[in-house]
Amino acid sequence: MPKISEERKAERREQILEGARRCFAEHGYEGATVAKLEREIGLSRGAIFNYFPSKEDLFLELAMRDSARMSEIWVEQGLDAVVREVVELDPAWLAVNLELVRRVRTDREFHARIEERQTRLTPANRAKLEDAQRAGEFRSDLDAKEIGTFVNLVLNGLALMRAGGEELPPTELVLSLLRDAIGGARRDTPLRTPA
């Protein structure tokens, strides 16, 4: 095998991951056969599995990147930005994640692998939340963990509705109601004058 530079390797990894994401989104996880992955990625199975030993590893790497990205947006830009991000995610890709929910619950090994890679409330997210509580952005009569799981609940709901092609409530409404639930300030003015 010819030697490949580190840079070239990194490029190839990206090529594989991008192609795999498109392929999963188009055909579903089960539907993404090795032949389809080869076609979409533009590399042979040998080349692909040289970087990722299995389809499962490809999926897990993509899922881990999603988590890391969400976590980063939360820490760098705050909660509103995370909500805005989720409502823009590709429904086809979200549905791939749903296809695997059964397996997350029933396959112990897969569960462990996904847990390990998932960003729930990371220390950085928690610190950010606690800062926001101190600054009065979020209410301080709840633990950061309680606020975090409620936000997670709303994000899960948005993701599921979007994956199924359901009409989402307007983002501004979601943000406003979320602030009423977990925001530091009381709701002083109604969104609209009562009819």
Lookup result for tokens 């969400």: 70
CA distances from 21 to 60, 139, 171 (A): 11, 38, 26
CA distances from 71 to 83, 87, 110, 140 (A): 12, 16, 22, 22
Give the pair of three-digit tokens for residue 169. Answer: 């409530």
Under the binding rule (CB under 8 A), the answer on residue 159 touching a second copy is yes
Q: Give the shortest CB-115-to-a second copy separation in angstroms.
A: 10
**Binding residue for a second copy (CB under 8 A) from 11, 14, 30, 76?**
30
Looking at the Cβ atoms of 11 and 180, the one nearer to a second copy is 180
Under the binding rule (CB under 8 A), the answer on residue 70 touching a second copy is no
**Binding residue for a second copy (CB under 8 A) from 53, 105, 112, 135?**
105
CA distance 118 to 190: 37
Question: Nearest 5°: phi and psi at 138?
Answer: -120, 150
Q: Site for a second copy (CB under 8 A): how many residues?
A: 52
Catalog residues that contact a second copy under the rule CB under 8 A: 28, 30, 91-92, 95-96, 98-99, 101-102, 104-106, 111, 139-142, 146, 149-150, 152-161, 163-165, 167-169, 173-174, 177-178, 180-182, 186-187, 190-195
